[in-house]
Chains A and B, each alone.
Chain A
Amino acid sequence: MPFERWLHLIPLRLRALFRRAEVDQELDEELRYHIDRQTELNIAQGMTPDAARTAALRAIGGFESRKEELREQRATIVIEHAARDVRYAMRILRRSPLFAVAAVGVLALGIGANAAMFALIDKVVLRPLPVSRPDEIAEIRIDGYRHDFGIGDGFNSELTHPLWQLIRTHPHAFSGMFAWGNTGLLFGDGADRQRINGLWVSGDYFDVLGVPAEHGRLLLESDDHRGCGASAVVLSHAFWQRQFGGSPSVVGATVSILDHRFTVVGVAPAAFTGLEVGRSFDVALPICSVELFGNALEQREYFWLRVMGRLRPQWTIAQASEQMRTISAGLFEATVPPGYSSESTTRYRAYRLTVLPAARGVSQLRANFAPALWVLLGLTGLVLLITSANLATLMLARAVGREREFTVRVALGASRHRILSQAFIESLIVAALGAICALPVAVLSSRAMVGLLSTSSNPVDLAVHLDWRVAAFTGAVAAATAIVFGLLPAIRASLVHPATAVRSTRGLTVDKHRGLAQRVLLVGQVAVSLVLAVAALFFVRSFQNLIGADTGFTQDRVMAVYLADLGAGDLPLEQRVAFQSTLTDEIRSVPGVVAAASSTHTPLSPASWWHSFILSIPGAERTGSPWAYVDPGYFNTLQIPLVAGRGITPFDTAASKRALVVNESFVREHLHGLPAIGTTLRTFAEPGYPATSYEIVGVVRDTTYSDLREGKRAIAFAPLAQDPGLRPWANVLVRTSGPPSMVTEAIKQRVTHLSAGILVGFTELRVQLAERLVGERMLAWLSGGFGVLALAIASFGLYGIVAYLAGGRRNEIGIRLSLGSSRLQIIRLVMGDSLRLVIVGLAIGLPIAIALMRTASALLFGLSATDVGPLAAAVVFLAMAAGVAALIPAWRASRLDPSSALRAE
């Protein structure tokens, strides 16, 4: 039934919409036919032709008004009106191009900034993995494990290979399980060797995820078996494009990875970049190939894998978690790592597995920056809010300027509803144009933000592009914006009274209600601007606190030289120590190098080293401390002053008594008033590190270990020569007399001269510090920019409103001036009114700002949400900007020529 109805109606309506002229013409013809026939009839009944026609017209009730009534009756009339309003609004906007361009431009920036933040948050936080049915993907990990046991490899170090081997024998809740880990690899041969991102994956990784191959095949269960050696490798789409120009013939080719030959079996699709958002893989190797580079498959203390699975449809996360928990005890019991103290292994045995949703993958980027991104989205939202308020003020002024037009239209019979929708459509068009221009702004600025977050040591690989999610968000924001800035002026426009059309537009004194909306908008703008200014000052100050924090050691002209692949792994311990000190000596002898020292730990680098120990006194309890193995030049290189006892000397050798230098915090925290020098402590055993007794021989000033936010903390320094586990890599800290970049080439030459295979990398400590603060830096820069923008927008708005209000009081000012008011009194009159509004705005904004900073306090360093300094500074800044903005129009009003002001009436 309804179908049959629409069968009739759709052609009818489409015709009314797209053949309007034709339909109108038919209407005309139909009525004309009727009138002609009636006129004929009237004549036939004896009327004169003129009278006959008049009678026919009167009978039908007027030709034009009948036509109009019939037109209005059409169902499509709403659309027709809208189309007419759009055309009309476009005409109005074209008539004031400056306003149109400014409004669209401001909105494009405002909406674009919001869309950019959303695009980034969507990519980093919200979006599910590009695999089939991502909601079923879950991760199995140790409940509460904080990388505080065993050896880790960074962000994805959650489980050991022996644990994975046991977990996979209990797949009940999962239709498939897989393990993966990430690693840096060297790709290619000789001089062309380059660092790439590698992925170790279990054989069923791609299968369980449901990722199809783009070329060739992906890894299979059969690729991943013990003793596989160097066999199959899968390339990512991006790496394949970059390295092989997208040539399909790469399938079957052999490539060199870490000097082993692997066969390329296939290419992964472009959409799949791995399970870590923000870090894409270049190549994926089966886990079994790890055997080529060490015994990670057997090591029970080496955490380097993540284990995930696809939940069976009828299983929930909670059920799977419960199931994993029940089998945990046996699993951990069977994989207790050897070489640890009994306390440590007890802790290990108590671990329990849990299952967590992993539909959105994992992300270090998310873990590090999500809070900052949300804060920034909030700030861009506020910027857009004051932009909208500002635009609303402008639109209101325009509505007032067009009051006569609106009143005339109302007087001529236009309904208020029509006036309102017509005025609102104008705002909608501005917002829509702004949204369209916002899209490129959004994509470009979110890419720029990815650039801000990306560092050489931690590159962020995130492709942000325009998609329907971003477009939908942009559209929604634009619609909301149009409501904020367009509805009020539209209502204001529709409230005109026809009678005012004939009255004068300007009264003698200020009309209390005139400008009420503007006043409210101004208060709002000031309040929001204050919030933005406070946020800017807090985040900038916080960043300054971090970057300028006293770390206790010299950062200027100090760089860390990273040496890898020393080729000394086969040497006995004594010779390795000798080799490393030769290496350091070589670097030290480079002209321009003031001091150099080798150490297992570079200050402020994210890697950390921890030893558990117990003081050798009765009743002491087990505790632990950050640890570093350093050579005799360390304290001199970083200029850390010695407070008591001695530093580490060349006489602290592998053969001599174990000596330890601690810092002042260590003494305070662990020694409880004991004399530091001469106290002994004993470390707990770990694999490769047997329990050892150290005697404290010296105390140094406090320094920051690895995290600036932790501030200075207890550290123990042991002689590098007594480090039982020398590694095939070394860090040498170098202090130079000039810019460190001047000596890098010379250092490289010396090192490669000593041994050609060594890879050398350089990082200045200042740069390393800055790289660890990219999130804070982004927050400081962007919030600072938003703060300045807010100040400018609010000042501009205030200027406009004061000028508008003063304009409305021209007559009054003219009279006051001619009655003998001084110019100063006029300035006070004009400014006083507006500045009261500013004070109200500040009073409203301040508690909001404090509340918001309190919720963001985790992002602050070295100041609290109620710190008076930045709060007062923000208030003063804003008040000053407001004063200047209000002074200009006030001053101009005071220069008014009274006679001309009165004559204008």
Chain B
Amino acid sequence: MSRPSDLVQGTLDLLLLKILALEPLHGWAISQRLKLVSGDVLQVSDGSLYPALHKLEQAGWIKAEWKPSENNRRAKFYALTRLGRRQLEKESAEWKRLSMAISTVVQLPEA
């Protein structure tokens, strides 16, 4: 199974939840949004996007709905569930804790 090589493991879930917390989107739009908001720094391969989305759906954090998209074709839109929102809060708190710890370590003055 392919794994985002350039992302800390587990952070893809957090990113997806956060993006979907803003508004319901379909898969392609999510990948575009990821590139846009992160200024092309975070490269999520299209290959790993869908397994991650389906995993979140199986976990009950996001739910899917077929709706007409901006080009009038039917597309599968994902939206956050109540459980997903709770999970997002948990994971972002965790992320803040982790990144704070890492930046503290990184900023240690070198002898």
Chain A residues engaging chain B, CB cutoff 8 angstroms: 1, 4-5, 8-9, 12, 26, 29-31, 33-34, 36-38, 56, 59-61, 66, 69-70, 73-75
Contact = CB atoms under 8 A, between A and B. Distances in A.
B18 interface: no
B1 A60 contact: no
A70 B63 contact: no
18 contacts: A5-B83, A9-B58, A26-B66, A33-B27, A33-B75, A34-B28, A34-B31, A36-B73, A38-B46, A60-B46, A60-B47, A69-B1, A70-B51, A73-B51, A73-B54, A73-B58, A74-B54, A74-B58
A37 B75 CA distance: 11
A59 B81 CA distance: 29
Contacts of A34: 27-28, 31, 46, 50
The 8 closest A-B pairs by CB, nearest first: A61-B47, A8-B60, A60-B46, A37-B28, A59-B46, A5-B60, A34-B28, A30-B76
Nearest to B66: A26
Contacts, number: 68
B60 A61 contact: no
B33 interface: no
B47 A33 contact: no
The majority secondary structure among interface residues of chain A is helix
B5 interface: no
Given A9-B58, A33-B73, A38-B28, A66 B50 contact: yes
Nearest to B63: A8
B87 to A, nearest CB: 11
Nearest to B29: A37
A75 B82 contact: no
A59 B71 CA distance: 22
Contacts of A33: 26-28, 69, 73-76
Contacts of B13: none
A29 B28 CA distance: 12
Interface of B: 1-2, 26-28, 31, 45-47, 50-51, 54-55, 57-60, 63, 66, 69, 71, 73-76, 81-83
Given A4-B60, A8-B81, A34-B50, 10 more contacts: A8-B63, A9-B60, A12-B57, A12-B58, A29-B74, A34-B28, A37-B71, A70-B50, A70-B54, A73-B55
B89 to A, nearest CB: 14
Contacts of B46: 34, 38, 56, 59-61
Contact of B83 (A4, A37, A66, A70): A4
A30 B69 CA distance: 12
Nearest to B86: A1
Contacts of B76: 26, 29-30, 33
B45 to A, nearest CB: 7
A498 B31 CA distance: 40
Contacts of A69: 1, 51
A59 B28 contact: no
Nearest to B30: A34
Contacts of A12: 57-58
B69 to A, nearest CB: 8
A566 to B, nearest CB: 88
Contacts of A31: 50
Nearest to A26: B76
Contacts of B58: 9, 12, 73-75
B2 to A, nearest CB: 6
Contacts of A56: 46
Given A8-B83, A12-B57, A69-B1, A59 B50 contact: no
B51 to A, nearest CB: 6
Contacts of A1: 83
A56 B46 CA distance: 9
B60 A59 contact: no
Nearest to A33: B75
